[in-house]
Amino acid sequence: MRMNSVTEKASCRYVVSVLVKDKVGILRGVSAALADLGGDMDGISQTVLDGYFALILTVTFAGPCSEEALRSAVQDALDDEKADVVIRAYDVPENRPPTVQGSRYLVTLNGKRTVGILKAVTNFLANQGVNVEGWTVYADGPRATHLGEVTVPDLLDIKQVQDGLQEVVAVFGFTCGIQHENIFLVTNKVGAVRPLLRGAQHV
Amino acid sequence: MYKASDVLATIRMLQEEHLDVRTVTMGIHLGDCIRTGMDETAEAVYRKITTKAANLVRICDQISTRYGLQIVNKRLAVSPASLLLEGRNRADALALAQAMDRAAEAVKVDLIGGFTALVQKGFTSGKQTVLESLPEVLAQTSRVCGSVNVGSTKAGMNVDAIRMLGRQILRLADATKDQHGFGAAKLVVFANIPEDNPFMAGAFLGPGEPECVINVGVSGPGVVKQAVDRALEERPDCTLDDLAEEIKHTAFRVTRVGELVGREVAERLGIQFGVLDLSLAPTPRVGDSVGEIYQAMGIAKLGAPGTTAAVALLNDAVKKGGAFASSSVGGLSGAFIPVMEDHALAEAMEAGTLTIEKLEAMTAVCSVGLDMLMLPGDTKSETIAGLIMDEAAIGIINRKTTAVRVIPVPGGKVGDRIDFGGLFGSGTICNVVSPTGAETFVNRGGHIPAPIQSLTN
C-alpha cells in the first residue's frame, strides 16, 4: 500500500522489513519508533502467517537519519532478540517503468499439498516473463489453494500461457486457472465497468 | 489485494455452477442494402453482414480465453426483413433469407435473427410477404430465425395476423416434419417485442437501434440455484424475503460478468454497446435449470399452487440485482420458462403437475411466454391462434413482453417424447385441457383495440 506523502522529495528514504513472532502491539512499537525519529511511513504492507508477523515499509525523513539509528530504534521497539530487522537505503529511481509491461492476471491452483508445485509453477511463469507480485497459499487439511497475482506481458499469447501452466500443474495432480483480474473485480466490487476497459484494443 | 473467498467464489461460479455468457449478439442495420433488384439486395446484405461481423467470433473467443469464461453463442440480429421486402414476392423473401443464412455461416455464427415483421397495427406488402413466406424460409435455411409482433399495449392486437400465423406455424412444422416440426422452434410470435433482445429466436434489430450494436444475454440459473441451496444450508428456516435478497446479490454478480464481456467486445470491435439482457436462460443440462431454482425454494412439484409466486419472486429479485449491476439493461430481462430447454420443467410437464394453463399463468409474471412447447400434430390452427391471443392479451394489458413458440409435431400424439438435441432439449408432447371451442371467436378476426392502459400521455 503506497500512501501520498508531503515529504516525497525529502533527502532520506529507507526500506524497512521486520520478521518476528506475532504479539499484540508490534506495529504500534515500530510506528512509534519511526515517528519519534521524524519519519513519515509512506508505504506499508504487513501480514501474519502462522504465528509470524512480517512487515515491509518505506519511510522518509525530512532531515538526516542514519541507518544504524533507524535499526536500533526499531530493534528496541520490538523488544525481541530473535526479531529480524533489515534496513536498506531506498534506491529505486522515481518514475521507474513497471517490472513487466502487461496486464494483471490471477493464478489459482488447487490440489493435494505436495512438495515442488510452487517451484514448478514459478519456474514456468518466470521463463515466460510473467512477474509474480503476490502469492498466497491457503492450506486446508491435505489440500492447498494457491492464489497468485501476476503481470503477463502484453506480447504473450494468454492461451499458450494457460495451456503451458495446465501441463505443469497436471504433473502434480493440480487444477489451475489464469484469468484476467477484471473478472474478479466486476464480480466482487461495486463500481463502474467502463474504466476497467481502458486500453482494450480495437481490431 | 484479493480476498481468497471472493476469488474462489467467482471461480466456483464459472467452473461448477455453469455461469456463462449465453449470447453475444451483434445487431446490424440493413436498411441501406435495398437495391433495385433482389439479387443485388441479397448480395448487399451478404456483404454488409460479413463485413460487420467478420471479427465477432474471433474477438469473443479471445475474451472468453482472457476471462476463463464461456461465451456459448455468437449471433446476429438484423433489421426486420419486411423492410427489404416491400413490393417483393415469396421467391424474393427466400433469396434474402438464403443470403442471410450464407452470411451467418461465413462468419461462423449459429443463428441470425431478423426475418421479422411488426404487424401489430396492420400489414404492408413487405410484412405480408414475410408472413406468407415463413414456412419455406425457415424450412429451407438452417440459421435464420423469424419473429412477428402481433400486438402492443399502444396498438392492441392484430387478430388477422394471428389467425394467419396459426396456419403458417402448422405449415412450417409440416415443412420440417422429417425433424419433428423443428422449423417452428425458429419462429416466435410476440406482443410488445423488444427491439434489442439478444436471445433467439426473437432477436432482431429494431427501428430505433443504431447502425451496429452489441447486445449481450447472460445466464446463470445454476449460479442462482446454488446460491439458494447455500442460503438454505446455512439457515434452513430462512424466509422468502431472505431468499429474494440472496438471489438479488447473485444476480448482481452474474450481470456484471455480462456487462464486462459486452462492453469489451464492443470496445474491441469499435462499435456501440447496446444492452445487457438479464434473463435467466436455462439449458437442458442438470444444474442449469430455472425449474430447479423453484424446486430449491420449496416447490417440490412444479405447477403446484405457489409456483407462479415463486416465478414472480425470482423474476423480481433478478431484475433488482441486475439493474444495479448494469448501466444498460434491456431485451427481455427476466426468467425464461422454455419447457424443452429446461429439464425440470420438461419433467414436470411429462409428470402432469405442470400444464399449459399453469404455464400461461406463470407467463404473466415471467419475462416471456409459452416457449418451446410441443403440441400434437392434429392441433388446429385456431387452437394455436387462441394460445397466441391469450398470451398477447397478458402482455398487452400488463405492459410486458409475452411470446409464443410452439411446435406442433407432425404425426405426434400427446405423451410422445421428442428430442431435438443440443440446447433445444427434449420433452413430451402435451395439450391444452380444452383444445377446441373458441374457433368462432378466433375466426371473427379483425383487431382488438388498444387497452385503456395505452392512454398514458
pLDDT band at A199 (very low <50, low <70, confident <90, very high): low
Which candidate, B135, B174, B119, places its Cα nearest to that of B388? B119
Mean of the per-residue pLDDT values of chain B: 94
Predicted confidence (pLDDT) per residue in A65-97, tens digit: 999 999 999 999 998 889 999 999 998 877 888
Minimum mean pLDDT range among B98-102, B166-170, B370-374: B370-374
For residue B53, what pLDDT is reported? 98
Predicted confidence (pLDDT) per residue in B340-357, tens digit: 889 999 999 999 999 999
Predicted confidence (pLDDT) per residue in A157-176, tens digit: 999 999 999 999 999 999 99
pLDDT band at A10 (very low <50, low <70, confident <90, very high): very low
Q: Is the pLDDT of residue B332 over 50?
A: yes
For residue B121, what pLDDT is reported? 96
Chain B residues closer than 8 Å to A149 by CB: 2
**Backbone phi, psi, residue A5, to 5°:** -140, 140
- Write out the three cell numbers for B166: 396459426
For residue B293, what pLDDT is reported? 96
Query: Hey, of A193, A196, A198, which one would you mutate to test binding to chain B, going by the most B CBs within 10 A of its CB?
Result: A193
The superfamily in CATH containing domain A102-193 is ACT domain (3.30.70.260)
Task: Establish whether domains A12-89 and A102-193 are of one fold.
Answer: yes
Which candidate, B397, B439, B422, places its Cα nearest to that of B341? B422
- ipTM of this complex: 0.84
User: In what order do the strands lie in the sheet containing A39-49?
Assistant: A39-49, A52-61, A12-21, A84-89
CB contact under 8 A, B259 and A186: yes
3-state helix, strand, coil in chain A (%, to 5): 30, 35, 35
Chain B residues closer than 8 Å to A49 by CB: none
Q: What are the domain boundaries of chain A?
A: 12-89, 102-193
Query: Hey, of A46, A140, A150, A183, which one would you mutate to test binding to chain B, going by the most B CBs within 10 A of its CB?
Result: A183
Q: What is the pTM of this model?
A: 0.89
pLDDT band at B14 (very low <50, low <70, confident <90, very high): confident
Q: Is the pLDDT of residue A58 over 90?
A: yes
CB contact under 8 A, A197 and B267: yes
For residue A203, what pLDDT is reported? 45
For residue A99, what pLDDT is reported? 85
Predicted confidence (pLDDT) per residue in B257-301, tens digit: 999 999 999 999 999 999 999 888 888 888 889 999 999 999 999
For residue A2, what pLDDT is reported? 47
A119 class by beta-carbon count within 10 Å (0-12 exposed, 13-18 middle, 19+ buried)? exposed
Give the end-to-end CA distance of chain B in Å, rounded to a whole number. Answer: 52
One-letter amino acid of B22? R
Q: Is the pLDDT of residue A8 over 50?
A: no
Q: Does the domain formed by A12-89 have CATH 3.30.70.260? A: yes
pLDDT band at A200 (very low <50, low <70, confident <90, very high): low
Which residues of B touch chain A, with CB atoms under 8 Å apart? 1-4, 6-11, 13-15, 55, 58-59, 65-69, 253, 256-257, 259-260, 263-264, 267-270, 327
Assign domain B18-457 to a CATH class: alpha beta
Is some CB atom of chain B closer than 8 A to the CB atom of A95? no
For residue A7, what pLDDT is reported? 41
Q: Which of A162, A188, A200 sits opposite B267 (nearest CB)?
A: A200
Largest CA distance in chain B: 69
Chain B residues closer than 8 Å to A196 by CB: 260
Q: Is the pLDDT of residue B70 over 80?
A: yes
